[in-house]
Amino acid sequence: MTYVDGFAAAVPTANRQQYIEHARKAAEVFKQHGAIKLVECWGDDVPEGTHTSFPMAVKKQPDETVVFSWILWPSRDVRNQAMPKVMDDPRLQADVNPMPFDGKRLIYGGFEMVLEA
């Protein structure tokens, strides 16, 4: 069954193009290791919440934008085998492709797809 890794982060708005380039390079690596598809979304209509919200979850600052991303994998097994290789890939090391945002506020998780309509 298809598996999804989902991510949310706060990226400095001034780093939009840098983030896109970072994601483009990372997408090549993920796909070479078995990912089916990667999607990167730049927040456009992401309201502040009272109790919960994307901005609250990532501790968004006024000069930041929320990004929402996901990676589609053929299965959890493929993802589990690929992730160590992806993390060790020299093209994704911080000195080669640094994250243009605070990785400590990155939220991520793996999800089993239960419906695709």
Whether 65 contacts 42, CB under 8 Å: yes
Q: Spell out a b/e string for 55-78, using b for 16 or more CB atoms within 10 Å of the CB, else e.
A: beebebeeebbbbbbbbbbeebeb
Structural domain boundaries in the chain:
10-45+54-65
Beta strands 64-73 and 3-12 are: antiparallel
pLDDT score at 1? 82
Find the radius of gyration of the CA atoms of the chain.
15
Average pLDDT of span 103-113: 95
The structure's pTM equals: 0.92
Is the predicted pLDDT of residue 7 greater than 90, yes or no? yes
What pLDDT is recorded for position 10?
98
Dihedral through CA 97, CA 106, CA 41, CA 92, nearest 10? 20
pLDDT tens for each residue of 18-54: 999 999 999 999 999 999 999 999 999 999 999 999 9
